[in-house]
Structure 1
């Protein structure tokens, strides 16, 4: 089952850090979600998420430059609301968390624009396999909380083929098709904070 590496995309909030000075930022885990969606029996979607992740990056508003984006997701934190299925996903047919405990997304440098959608190209590593992935990111605004902390909102999406990352387990259906979809949709929504 392809994971929606939200983790990783969250960092994209850097999109348009409007009035902030150049500096380092981190994902606000309490207000960020990394989710994924995949077809089941060709007739519906199964959704899941990762509960344990971290991310950081550097952003320079003056130049619109995002650098050193680095997101790590703990594979064993996968959650699909079914304990038996989660156990299968953690095993060798899927993420093999004992040998590959983390998923990562890294982007060395990108130019982000204010407003609209920006594309950030980076490298996604799952189960020891690294592939280029492009994230479509949209900045949704910034606001200060009652304690004076500025939060940056963002949305990030991408799609990957799980077989590209050596996650090819499946079962054929009697009337054609496969038990699990080949493509995984990933969506990350949340906030980032200055470090």
Structure 2
């Protein structure tokens, strides 16, 4: 091997070592927490020909997000089923009963994501598992993330608005009462204002070419 070839070989070896070291370095995603005062899970369904709706007001959740690294984003949410409100006390009691959300036996609903696919500059499809009435099923939410800065609000700087919509069939979660009166399809929408915390989520860095670009929130103002 001549001197020139030897130098090239050493240079290539050095680059490989650097890349291998880089691949092993941990990365940290920002953790956002749902603002409890400005977060709710909404639901809607058909009763006869009329659309009915309600919401859950007590929701806890976190969003792990790293700008430009969509495939590592994660969402976890827990809904207190007793916080269900429709504006009609009789309907509230019926939906909290054993024929529907069965609040006494199942005090929480949960969602936990496991994968994300970009569909636009600040939108994505998020796959995960949802547990309702003690039954867990796969689900795909259409999600978006936008800045929520409001100059008029002192503590609004840096906030983001997270929205997620999906549809489930209530019969899949053992809620089968009144099939001739109440539609099977139930629309779900998570509306959350999220605030960045000082916490970081540990993530393993993958090779740069495998990182999915996109879903970076852009200011629409």
Q: TM-score range by the shorter chain?
A: 0.7 to 0.9
Task: State the aligned residue count.
Answer: 168
* 2:42 corresponds to 1:31: no
* 2:156 corresponds to 1:154: no
Listed as ranges, the matches of 1:111-130 within 5 Å are 111-112=117-118, 115-130=121-136
Residue 40 (structure 1) shift: 0.8
Residue 110 (structure 1) shift: 2.7
Give the structure with higher Rg (CA).
2
Segments of 5+ residues of structure 1 without an aligned counterpart are: 1-20, 172-177
The structure 2 residue matched to 1:78, chosen from 78, 84, 88, is: 84
Alpha-carbon distance in 2 for matches of 1:116, 1:152: 11
Q: Which residue in 1 is equivalent to 2:205?
A: none
* 2:50 corresponds to 1:44: yes
* 2:176 corresponds to 1:168: yes
Alpha-carbon distance in 1 for matches of 2:169, 2:119: 28
Would the alpha carbon gap of residues 148 and 91 (structure 1) be closer, same or farther in structure 2, given more than 3 Å must change? Answer: closer
| TM superposition outliers: structure 1 runs of 4+ over 3 Å | 65-68, 111-114
Q: Secondary structure at the match of 1:191?
A: strand
Q: Which residue in 1 is equivalent to 2:191?
A: 189
Give the TM-score of the pair, scaled to structure 2.
0.69
Q: Which residue in 2 is equivalent to 1:105?
A: 111
Would the alpha carbon gap of residues 189 and 68 (structure 1) be closer, same or farther in structure 2, given more than 3 Å must change? Answer: closer
Kept in 2: contact 1:36–1:47 (CA 8 A): yes
Residue 63 (structure 1) shift: 1.7
Give the TM-score of the pair, scaled to structure 1.
0.78
Determine which structure has greater relative contact order: mean sequence separation of CA pairs < 8 Å that are 6+ residues apart, divided by chain length: 1
Q: Which residue in 2 is equivalent to 1:8?
A: none
Residue 113 (structure 1) shift: 6.4
Would the alpha carbon gap of residues 139 and 68 (structure 1) be closer, same or farther in structure 2, given more than 3 Å must change? Answer: closer
Segments of 5+ residues of structure 2 without an aligned counterpart are: 1-27, 198-221
Kept in 1: contact 2:148–2:157 (CA 8 A): no
